Structure 1
Amino acid sequence: MKRIYLLLTLWVTCQAACLPTALVFAQGTNPVPKDAVVESIIKEATENSQLEKLGHELMDVIGPRLVGSPQMQQAHDWAVATYKGWNITARNEKWGEWRGWERGVSHIDMVAPRVKSLEGMQLAWSPGTNGKTVTADVVILPEVADSAAFRKWLPSAKGKFVLISMNQPTGRPDYNWQEFGTKESFEKMKKDRDAQTEAWANRLRKTGYNARGLPLALEKAGAAGVVMSYWSKGFGANKIFGAYTKSIPTIDISLEDYGLLYRLAESGHTPRISVKADAKETGVSPTFNTIGEIRGTEKPNEYVILSAHFDSWDGGSGATDNGTGTLVMMEAMRILKKVYPNPKRTILVGHWGSEEQGLNGSRAFVEDHPEIVQNIQAVFNQDNGTGRVVNLTGQGFLNSYEYLTRWLSKVPEPIRTPIETTFPGAPGAGGSDFASFVAAGAPAFSLSSLSWSYGTYTWHTNRDTYDKIVFDDVRSNAILAAILAYQASEDPAKTSREKSILPADSKGVPAAWPEPRKPIRRGGLD
């Protein structure tokens, strides 16, 4: 009997020792299987990350990706070549055309009443100075009684650079005032700023022109150029958008240097600046989406889509809007191809063009590919900065809780726990490319990130550069995206598209689901 007991003990011990490494025991008695693909995703992402290399190539070497620019085309071609280097099928798919424009050097100097180089740049699509340096006095947009009085003043703008932005009363962000100022001084500053902001809005209104029409009126009057400063409410950060002028430069100058010019002009010291702005019109440029594909083996006509817009504004290098989202999805695709090369469903990645001008690339894809849209299992989109994902909502899909929480349960606890979920949530009508798919009724979700002062310091600013990327957070997001794509691909069931009843308005009528919107397919050309 003792010998039998020993043999039985040895057999049990052997069975425990010989359990597959893909099994791990929980605190209870039942073994909990570990997922070998999930473990491989984590291992590849942490031990063989390509994020820094990809980020350097995209943000430093190629740079910003303004729609219609040569850099945008270069980025598309780079992405296709990179995917092909990973044995991932990829293509550039044309969806429209855009005004072609290439930024050159902006050099702005104050030459009177003293000499100082100024921090600033021309806006996107601004006319250049034709290789010349334009030197002229600076004047402030006048305070007038009404539009008739402004029209009477307009000839005075001829040959002048005209300041059209309010002079900010402080270059310190509010958080800096809160930390160091007295409560009384902070409140006084805000009250004065509010009054000044209202007064400047009234000044603009009395010209009879809106923000688009005013620069054109100054251009028609013969102004040498339009000078503005769109402060982003943070140290050194300005928003850099597009110009409306057709023949004279529109330049944005830092808060500090703009305030200098404004105060000198206001006090009668007549500042004079020299501007050399190189820019090249490059004709009609085709616009593309870059699409990568890992073909499904069992359900190839059902799709999981990883999504991020590829274009950017060009004040910085488009690092956190949306270079980081691009890196997340490229890295996720690379990892999936290596550790999960034969997915059940087809996994696509979409790098969309012209998101910044109205989600045009993704709207075009939705319009051009109904056969894909009707068979989407899930779309995962990331587009609001470098931070780790901390929010996920069901976008109004009634049963999204069931499958999203199940997929999330496979994500490592340190990545999963900070994510706040809201179900069923409300459908996003805009903001980023997931909304193009939601409007078409496809389950599409935004992987929403921790701020890292995104809205102030990097969103559409001159400070959106490589050094603002937090690679540990981006790496975490790549792991998340890859695991969610894997789980969505493997799920035995097709995801439900049933929509929740949206909250009623004041009359008791339920809100309507967003409707698909047509893309702009000819930008800046008509």
Structure 2
Amino acid sequence: MTVGRFRSSCPVASVIVLLLLQVLLIPAPTEASPDRCRQVRSLRDEIAGYRPVVERVLSYVQDQKGYKGKTWTALSEFTDTFGSRLAGTQNLENSIDFMLNRLRAWHLDNVHAERVIFTGWQRRKEFATLVSPRVKNLAMLGLGGSVSTAPEGIRAEVVVVTSFEDLINKSSQVSGKIVVYNQPYVSYGETVVYRSMGASAASKYGAVATLIRSITPFSLNSPHAGQQSYSDGVKKIPTACITVEDAELLNRMYNRGSKLEIFLKMDSKFFANATSRNTVAEIKGTTNPDKIVLVSGHLDSWDVGQGAMDDGGGAFISWNSLVVLKNLGLRPKRTIRCLLWTAEEEGYIGAYAYLKGHKSELEKFNLVIESDEGTFQPYGIQFHGSETSACIMAEVAKLFDSINATA
């Protein structure tokens, strides 16, 4: 998730201690060219001077007598207690109340919630069945924001495609049919477009529904949930994800010339003026308290899991980063603000609401950090910003050589 148009730069003094805190670190698309980094040479000694602080933090979070395991334990308690946290449900609001109490108990600064109003979506009963040439139940999950089928469901012939180009090539065959996407998995960022835009792409040619191969490289007959978006001016049709195994099965049968028919029934509910809250906590800066470094993740999740990885991990490393700094008595020059978004899964609703409500403050944000691609072993830093900032971040990354996270 990329948050609005927040300015991304790298104020060295306060950021270094924050980047140690196991925020998701992966290779950077904004690369620093050695020849173009001459302008930051004057900062290298200053950055290198923070190595003792870096090592102190790394030692603390990896030490069994320090903070090792505490973030995981807190996340385990949270997900076991609340489970799924779909935006618009009381479960999410209860979990937000829990987090507010927890953040206050740690005596963090400026702990509060900010109200967000949105249109909620809720799945009801749904199922898909291959009815011809043989009967087979298809594990499926309706995609967020999908419209329902008619109460009697849809029974239609199937067209299987493997790409948007394949859809165009078969466009004359699509009208009145269910389009099944069996796109190969390349990466999440590249492949998720089929989930996001597949329904509208097929609807342009008259499809009555779409079933999309789950966006994952690995499956044990497990369909994945996720959000999708309808294009303006295109008829909204029901859309869901099916398992990798079933998408491959349907593709093989279709390529052999079998006439496939699927019965699909989906029921969902939309409710206007739903409310939720973004959750905020801070450590006030010492010399530049009006300058802000934001670290964030989202508390909401889909309804079919417990949201431990998406995005419990990102949310919990965010607020625990403030606790680590507080426990070590490290006071940043700039204010470090933890923001736990709500309604992210429905289309970054909490983030957009925050951006709208804080437009007058945007010049105060020096750096925005967000973790929502899973929490794993860190390898480097993914960064978007100016070339000068990228050069600074490259110097910062050198401080992580002891954990092999310098990419």
Please classify the TM superposition score into its range, dividing by the shorter chain length: 0.5 to 0.7
Name which structure has the greater RCO, CA cutoff 8 Å, separation 6+: 2
4+ residue stretches of structure 1 with deviation over 6 A?
A: 32-37, 141-148
TM-score by length of 2: 0.61
2:146 is aligned, of 99, 104, 126, to 126
Query: What residue is the counterpart of 1:254 in the other structure?
Result: 243
Give 1:329 shift. Answer: 0.8
2:125 is the alignment partner of 1:100: no
SS of match in other structure, 1:212: helix
Q: Pick from 176, 200, 206 the counterpart of residue 212 of structure 1.
A: 200
CA gap of 1:345–1:114, structure 2 versus 1, over 3 A, is: same
Q: Which amino acid aligns with 1:100?
A: G
- What is residue 325 of structure 2 aligned with on the other side? 336
Residue 178 (structure 2) pairs with residue 162 (structure 1): yes
Backbone CA RMSD of aligned residues: 4.8
1:349, distance to aligned residue in structure 2 (A): 0.4
Superposed CA deviations along residues 220-254 of structure 1, whole A, max 9, x for unmatched, are xxx4x433335544445766442649775322222
Say whether the 8 Å CA contact 1:62–1:74 is kept in structure 2: no
Q: Does 1:414 align with 2:398?
A: no
Report if aligned partners of 2:181, 2:212 keep a CA contact under 8 Å in 1: yes
Q: Does the CA-based 8 Å contact 2:203-2:236 persist in structure 1?
A: no
For residues 90 and 215 of structure 1, do their structure 2 counterparts lie closer, same or farther at Cα, with a shift above 3 Å needed? farther
Q: 1:49-106 deviations in whole A, cap 9, x for unaligned?
A: 13233145248833265x66666555544432332343334222235x4321012343
Residue in 2 that maps onto 1:117: 137
Residues 45, 335 of structure 1: 8 Å contact kept: no
| Structure 2 equivalent of residue 398 of structure 1 | 388
Q: Can you give the 5+ residue segments of structure 1 that lack an aligned partner in the other structure?
A: 1-31, 175-200, 202-208, 422-526
- Indicate conservation of the 8 Å contact 2:219/2:244, yes or no: no
| Partner in structure 2 of residue 242 of structure 1 | 228
Amino acid in structure 1 at the alignment position of 2:402: P
The CA distance in 2 between the partners of 1:420 and 1:388, in whole Å, is 12
| Superimposed CA distance per residue, residues 337-361 of structure 1 (whole angstroms, 9 cap, x where no aligned partner) | 4443866543310223465677664
Match of 1:419, SS state, is coil
3-state DSSP of counterpart to 2:157: strand
Q: State the Cα deviation string for residues 494-518 of structure 1 (Å, max 9, x = none).
A: xxxxxxxxxxxxxxxxxxxxxxxxx
Once the two structures are superposed, the pairs formed by residues 24-39 of structure 1 within 5 Å of their partners are 38=57
The structural deviation recorded for 1:45 is: 5.0
Distance 2:204 2:168 in 1: 21
Q: 1:217 to 1:90 in 2, by over 3 A?
A: farther
In the alignment, is the contact (CA less than 8 A) between 2:147 and 2:237 conserved in 1? yes
Tell me how far 1:396 sits from its aligned partner: 2.5
Q: How does 1:165-204 map to 2 (within 5 A)?
A: 165-166=181-182
> Is 1:83 equivalent to 2:99 in the alignment?
no
Moved more, 321-330 or 34-43: 34-43
Distance 1:76 1:277 in 2: 30
Amino acid at match of 2:386: G
Rg comparison, structure with higher value: 1
Please give the alpha-carbon distance, in whole angstroms, between the structure 2 residues aligned to 1:144 and 1:267: 18
Task: Write the distance in 1 (CA, Å) between the matches of 2:390 and 2:239.
Answer: 47
CA distance in structure 1 between the aligned counterparts of 2:123 and 2:315, rounded to whole angstroms: 23
SS at 2:67's partner residue?
A: helix
Query: 3-state DSSP class of the match of 1:328?
Result: helix
- In structure 2, the CA distance between the partners of 1:51 and 1:232, relative to structure 1 (3 Å rule), is closer
Cα deviation digits, residues 306-340 of structure 1 (max 9, x gap): 23344566675554443322121122223334443
1:308·1:351 contact (CA, 8 Å) conserved in 2? Answer: yes
Query: What is residue 37 of structure 2 aligned with on the other side?
Result: none
Are positions 1:289 and 2:308 aligned together? no
CA contact (8 A) 1:59 1:319 kept: no
Q: Distance in 1 between matches of 2:181 and 2:358?
A: 44
